[in-house]
Structure formats: structure tokens, C-alpha cells
Amino acid sequence: MKKMKALSVIAALSMLACSVSCSSNNTDTDSTKPTEAKTEAITEAVDVPELDGYNLLWNDEFSGSALDETKWNYEPHEPGWTNEELQEYTTSTDNVFVRDGKLVIKAIKSEKNGKDYYTSGKVTGQNKTDFTYGKVVVSAKVPEGQGLWPAIWMMPKDESFYGQWPKCGEIDIMEVLGNDVSTAYGTLHYGEPHGEQQGTWGLTGQTYADSFHEYSVEWEPGEFRWYIDGNLYNTVNDWFTAVQGEDEKPYPAPFDQPFFVQLNLAVGGTWPGNPDATTDFDKAEFEVDYVRVYQKPEYDTNVKKPEKEFRKALEDGNFIFNGDFSEAEDLTDDVNWKFLLFNGGEGAAEIKDNMIVITSEKEGTEDYSVQLVQPDLPMIKGKKYRVTFDAYADEERDIIVCVSAPSAGWIRYLKDTKLKVTPEKQTFTYDFEMKDKDDNNGRLEFNLGHRGSTATVYISNVRVEEIS
């Protein structure tokens, strides 16, 4: 059984990218061992917790007076470089600096040519602290404010090795939107076509802007696991990469190559939206207490991609479980129905009298701000499906229904379809053909947010079935 020998202690940072990259390319694994002299020179000042089964690979406690450029690069970019973001990433110490033992990335609002202008910071470990497989642990506190978008994430040292994004892969350890600082996201991106798998961890009675929280990911040859404050909230072991129309690269590509950690604070963009009058830039600071990367002494790289399991229909042909709402459910877990709130949406859902009743206090800023979903629907290329349900509302209003692909870039198998519900119960029917790659994680969505109404909605008799 093939194994890759990982570094047992911190290696000299100048050797790090080469040693791990070489080991992943099947060269002599003994070459990954650092010399005793270099190990002692670097580890004398290290005083961080030990993790059972892991050795410390590298870390930064930000105990100096400035950014340690033996470990980090400034990465400047012009506005609009990606995701339609507004900020210019600079090398200025106004945007990136160390204060009281913490790295601070600060977004600044100014004016240029008579218009609002934003600067911020992004730092990366590319070509300095690259590694393959390990556990990344980061303690951070995020800023609150519309349009602010802090992130802890990883990209490959050589983005062209499997092809440009998303073929190269991306590991998002943490993202939080400044207008919803009670929810954090951990996501894996890959493809092509673009696939992604995302988990969320929400807080009640506190936010990620109130205090420091610890975000971590465990990256192994055949699995990723995301944690927040020690709570496991997302596990992914099924991914791929390919050029459109060609065979997939051997698993576990693209996540079998050196990656690096990066930290940034974006302003605006397609996901968080732009800042508004409520955004306080005096407090627009993303603070990082430490970054620690650990590795196991060895990893088994002889892994196989798990076979997809596809949900079987019930005896009556329905792929929706508890579609008649005859059973009470925990609507916060990942079993059958799940009720979700995002981006300012406020409301509740309750199963009673063989229907689900969705009440809204605030509609939020997105269609999905108030949302009822059921995942794990089997979507097979070439098959035709029918979605049916009954619905009514306390007063006339719109809702949106779709079948989405949370593991395949959120494409739509049944397109977003706006429908009008009234105080009179109606039956709605929609047919669609599955034209994309087989997916065992199709998701039926009812989206009630951002529709200009908070009227209560009643849904019953939900079915998704295969038709000839």
C-alpha cells in the first residue's frame, strides 16, 4: 500500500513547498525529513498546543511588529479583479498590519474621482508555506457590516497543474457575510463543470463578530472535514476534476497537490452585495489571532472515490420523504425537510395538520432568506421528473420553487419558477428533464424571501417523481 511520509516537525520554510510537492509526485519519501539543525532553529520559539496524532508543520502567532514576509505575501489586485468586488487589494500597512499580537486586515473607504473607493488587504502563503494534506487551525474575529466579506481559504501552489479555476480546486475554510455574521460557511470547489459542496454552522445568541472563534479543516487524501470551535459541521469525500468533455482526472485530483493558506477581507461582490449607509468602515477589521498547520506523520494516498448512493423512491414513487407531512420533524437537522434563514430573513416553520406552515417576520434581502428544502434527490441524466404540491397563503403573494444542485455549482435542474399563492389552496405541477451529469444531491427548494410579503404560507402533498 502506497504511503506518503509527512514532515514530523517544522521544516525550514524555504524547503517546505519542494519537499511536500516531491512526496506527492512519488519520489523518495525520506527526502521530506528536515535536518535537526534547521528544526531546532525554528521550533525554539514555538509554544502552541499539540494535537494528538499530528505534528506542527508551521504556524504564525503574529507576535512580531509587522507581517512576517518569510511566511506571507501581500497580493495586490485592482478593483473588480474577481466576483465584481469593489476593493483594491494593496500592500499598504494601513490595510494589513499587526496589532497586539493579531494580524489585522482593514477595509478603508475613501473617495477617488468623485466616487466611493475602497482598499483592503489580502495575504497568501504561496511559495513560502505550501503543503499537501494536514489540519489548518485559525482563530479569527470577523467584522460586521453590509458588503464586508472576510475569508480564510486555500488555493493550489500551481493553479495551472490541473487547469484554471475551478479545475484546480479551492478549499474555503471560512467565509462569513458581514450582513449575516451568525452564519459561517465551509466549502469545497472543484470541476469542470463547476462543482461545490458547502456546509454551514450557525450561532444562536452570539455572532462571529462578537469574539474570536476557531475555524479548522482536516485535509486528507480522501476526505475533508470542517470544524468551528471543535464542532464538525461538514464532511466531503466525493469530488472530481476534468476538462469539459474529457475523462475525469484520477481521484483524489485536484486535491493531491500543494496548496497554500490565504486571508483577505473583500468589499462588495456578487455574493455579499455592496456596502450601504449602515456599513461602519471604522470597524471594518478582520482580525486573526493565529494560523497553525499540522500534519500527520504519514497519509495513505491509496484511496478510491466512493460510489454514489442514490435515494430510492417510496412505494408510491415519491422521492420526497414525509411529503404528506404526517410525521413531526426536527426542521434544523439534515434529515428530510430543513428550514433555513439567511441574509436578514426571520421566520419559523411548523408541521401540523398534514402540512408545513411557514411564517415570516422579515423577508430578508435574498430569495433564499426564508427557505424550505429537501436534499438528496436522485437526478439521473436523461430522466424526466414531475414536481407537484399544494399551497396557499393568508394573502396573495409570490414564492419561488426550483430543484437545485448544491454539489454542482448551484445550477438548476428545474429552473427558478415564480408562482402566485392565494388564500385558496391550489395544486402546482412542473415537469422537467434532467440534462446534466448524474447527481445524488438534487434539492427541492421553496424560497419565500425577498418577495415583498411576509404572509404565512401553507404547503402540503409534496411529490417529486420520475415520469416517462
Mind listing the pLDDT tens digit for each residue in 91-126? 999 999 999 999 999 999 999 999 999 999 999 999
Question: For residue 67, how far is the Cα from the chain centroid?
Answer: 27
CA–CA dist 128, 435 (Å, integer): 43
pLDDT for position 343: 85
User: Which CATH number describes the domain made up of 338-467?
Assistant: 2.60.120.260
pLDDT for position 99: 98
pLDDT for position 407: 86
pLDDT for position 43: 34
Give me 392's grid cell: 396557499
What would the pLDDT profile of 9-68 be if each residue is shown by its tens digit? 333 343 343 333 333 333 333 333 332 333 333 333 547 899 999 999 999 999 999 999
Cα dist from 461 to 247, 252, 278, 318, whole Å: 41, 41, 42, 10
pLDDT for position 21: 37
Domain boundaries for CATH 2.60.120.200 within the chain: 3-300
Per-run averaged pLDDT (10 residues), the chain, 468 residues: 37 39 36 31 60 97 96 96 95 98 98 96 98 98 98 97 95 97 96 90 95 98 98 95 86 98 97 96 98 98 94 97 97 94 94 98 95 97 97 98 92 97 98 94 97 97 96
Q: Is 170 a catalytic residue?
A: yes
Q: Catalytic one among 61, 144, 170, 287?
A: 170
pLDDT for position 223: 98
pLDDT for position 9: 35
pTM, two decimals, is 0.81
pLDDT for position 32: 32
Q: Is 315 a catalytic residue?
A: no
Q: Catalytic one among 85, 175, 218, 285?
A: 175
Fold of 3-300: Jelly Rolls (2.60.120)
pLDDT for position 33: 33
CB 199 within 8 A of CB 185: yes
Domain boundaries for CATH 2.60.120.260 within the chain: 338-467
pLDDT for position 399: 98
